[in-house]
Structure 1
Amino acid sequence: MKYKLILVFLSMASLAVAQKPLFPQHPGLVSYTYRDYLSKDVPGTLDKIKDLGFTDMEFSGLFGKTAAELRALLDERGIKCSSFGVSYNDFVNKTEEVAQNAKTLGAQYVRVAGIPHKSALTLEEAQKAVADFNRIGKLLKEQYGLGFIYHEHGFEFQPYQDGTLYDYIVKNTDPRYVSLELDIMWAFFPGQDPAALLSKYGHRYKALHLKDLKKGVKGDLSGGTNQDNDVVLGTGQIDIPAVLKAAKKAGVEHYYIEDESTHVMEQVPQSLAYLKSLKQ
């Protein structure tokens, strides 16, 4: 009888482990998701975001506020800004202003999404980006105590040698000063496997943009697609559970939902519910 009880207990314990949430922490949100609303009403939109349960955000702009004004609004609602996204031009030419704004916001990272290029990304353009990332990433770290993360946008996956220019960028940037943010849709769109990238480059990834691509849409290396091709997580083409498992193993710190569509009011709550429903 005692052995039967032990077996029952072990079975229940195994079931509990099996039902552990795949996504145990609260996801973050990219401000660009609610850009149309934040541009008109920052406090009201932040209230809606907080009501959904978000307490971690990556801001891609200040939406007409100073960094101090935005920080005050976030503090009032118990929301933190963990990453501050800026343009490549500001990153290079307004580094001090960018750093001061990031510090005021309380951000851990400064983020850049994209590299200036004329058509298809070239090796020369990638080399310039590597030099800028290493130089300014070091400055941000040593002078301001900020990390730097690069967010790919799909066009970096141009073939190069036995890999891609994205591989070139990752391998030639100094991991002490340059980390990565994986936008899983902009990895999938040009034909990459986001889970495989997370496994390949592991701890280099500090953050994710969680988004899904509408079924039937074919990708390319352009770095662009219709904004309404962003769909509710779990309803598109990307294997979200596989991505989350790989991200957990890689030690990703921040998971931001990003939805660029015109249906964010309906889609974001559904994406959030989907993430909370996942078990491992």
Structure 2
Amino acid sequence: MKISVQMYSVRQALAADFPGTVQRLCDLGFDTAEPFGLVEFRDDLVRARERFDITFPSAHQSFLGDVDFDEVLEAANAVGVTYLVDPFWEPADWQDPARVRDLAGRLNARAEQAAEAGIRVGYHNHHFELAAQLDSRSALELFAEHLAPRVVLEIDTYWAVVGGADITTLLATLGERVKLVHLKDGDLAQDPAGQLPVGAGRMPLEETLTAAAGVEYGVIEFDEYDGDVFEGLEASLRRLRAEA
């Protein structure tokens, strides 16, 4: 598993100094990162890729709604993205099986468009897709059953556990469709303020890493962090390297 970092973790620093923040991530030891707001930050990311020893194989960008998908794909190609991941869909729609199937169909259609550009699309979960139980399984599992083979999933292991999932069982059930995981830790509350460096909270780290052994990218992320987020990222990276 290649270790990456979700740039949303350092969003405030990026807003103040984009290239300087990318340099700091490189100095911590990251040579792979996952941007957010791909279209918005397209030009900054292209320049960062040219200037620093860093790549952006995956990225978060909303595209399941009414957007210019050609613009999204152009940005993805310019930045060097392989896995284009929609990071969020409305919680209410995960309560209805018909809406879940419709959303899967929408993602499948995007996958066909993206294939021509050599890009694979996917979805990233929060807790509510696992908390919603439909026909004796989670809404996320129902969603996965209706996805085309080319579509990938990026499982946020922390939010999956917050949503009530057994992470080893979930990853085994979803199988090879999971190409990326988000790795984080904390108190397992829905309030992200209690998030901690990887290995410092209540997440079953060893079991998670074992279950995710075949995943291509493990992405460290803090939704929020009560402290110096760069120190939190460094501690997380250090722990994951020790577990490797």
TM-score of the two chains, using structure 2 as the length reference: 0.92
**Aligned residue runs from structure 1 range 248-267, under 5 A:** 248=213, 251-262=214-225, 263=227, 264-267=229-232
**Larger Rg, first or second structure (1 or 2):** 1
Moved more, 118-127 or 159-168: 118-127
Picking from 159, 167, 172, the partner of 1:194 is 167
CA distance in 2, matches of 1:93, 1:69: 21
Picking from 99, 106, 117, the partner of 1:132 is 106
Picking from 224, 238, 242, the partner of 2:207 is 242
Number of aligned residue pairs = 241
State the SS of the aligned residue for 1:33: helix
State the SS of the aligned residue for 1:93: coil
TM-score of the two chains, using structure 1 as the length reference: 0.80
Q: Structure 2: which 5+ runs fail to align? A: none
RMSD over aligned Cα atoms:
1.9
**Aligned residue runs from structure 1 range 58-97, under 5 A:** 58-62=34-38, 65=41, 67-89=42-64, 92-97=66-71
**Aligned residue runs from structure 1 range 141-220, under 5 A:** 141=115, 143-157=116-130, 158-176=132-150, 178-214=151-187, 217-218=188-189
| Structure 1 segments (4+ residues) deviating >4 Å | 62-65
Closer, same or farther: CA 38–69 of 1 in aligned 2, 3 Å: closer
The answer to whether the Cα contact below 8 Å between 1:211 and 1:230 also exists between their aligned partners in 2 is yes
Q: Does 1:108 find its partner at 2:82?
A: yes
Q: Which amino acid aligns with 1:108?
A: T
Moved more, 116-125 or 261-270: 116-125
| Cα offset, 1:74, TM superposition | 2.2
1:8 aligns with: none
Deviations 1:96-152 (A, max 9, x none): 0110000000000110122224476322321221110111111111x2110012111
Deviations 1:171-203 (A, max 9, x none): 111112x11001001100011012221112211
Percent identical residues: 27
CA distance in 2, matches of 1:62, 1:162: 36
